Amino acid sequence: MIEMDDQQAAARAWFEALRTRICTSFEAIEREAGSDAAFTYAPWDRVDPSGEPGGGGVRGVMKGRVFEKVGVNVSTVGGTFEGDFARSIRGAGDDPRFFATGISLVAHMANPHAPAVHMNCRFLRTTTQWFGGGADLNPPLPVEGDTADFHAAMKAACDAHDATYYPRFKEWADEYFYIPHRQVHRGAGGIFFDHLEGGFDADFAFVRDVGEAFLAIYPAIVRRRMDDGFTEADVAAMRAWRGRYAEFNLVYDRGTLFGLKTGGNIDAILMSLPPVATWE
């Protein structure tokens, strides 16, 4: 176990509590569908390049009737960044010591009309400290009303803190979740933010509201769509779309790179990949 001060411990505790509430919510949806699917949890430990304990986390995965594959991970790691990677991280160029704690979630759905989703929230400390994260909807077959409701929930969370947040963070998501070699966006967008350094209490309150907004809106959208009828053509479209999703996460996603460069658990890092995808 790595040592933590009160701020670090508070962030970690909330991310872990949010994980528990999200997993409980998703398992309840499986029960409504007549499934007894449940999350399985695999703890993992990290060894820092110095040889000292470097924290770790818990990988949670469920494969069910509604959620074809959903992963909800929490991790708390610390130690030192290696080599050149330190210079790519805010505040770590001259001092490679770091601390990071967060939650990361990706859900791939069995019904092509039920949108996949990504959400993460994190707290990092180097020679400075900040929060980052966001949530974005990834429907293989977009439904305008679902997209509008998801964005409305994210906007409400943002507006409660700063009227500039939603337009800024929506634009950031549109720019970030883009696949240049395909010239398409990964999904229907949402919000993405990083390097929030306005003060721990205010920024932590905002991150908590993002998590609460996600927990309120996404299960509601899943319940709308999980019983929709679909065709083989719909499934084929979903699997082709998943190929694009996998390309983004393997080639461009900063979270994937961070996990690999800091010696994270490989199964937890790659849990975002869909269970079945196709390429023509």
pLDDT tens sequence across 3-25: 899 999 999 999 999 999 999 99
What type of residue sits at position 148?
A: A
266: Cβ contacts below 8 Å, ≥ 6 apart: 260
Instruction: State the chain's maximal CA–CA distance in angstroms.
Output: 56
């180097």: which residue's tokens? 126
pLDDT value at residue 262: 81
What's the pLDDT tens digit per position in 133-161?
999 999 999 999 999 999 999 999 999 99
> Which domains, and CATH codes, for the chain?
6-272 (3.40.1500.10)
Would you call 118 a catalytic residue per the annotation? yes
The CA angle 99-104-105, to the nearest 5 degrees, is: 175
**Which string of b and e fits 94-129 if b means at least 16 CB within 10 Å?**
eebbbbbbbbbbbbbbbbbbbbbbbbbbbbbbbeeb
- In the set 108, 118, 151, 185, the catalytic residue is 118
Give the separation between CA 109 and CA 69, rounded to whole angstroms: 7
pTM of the model: 0.94
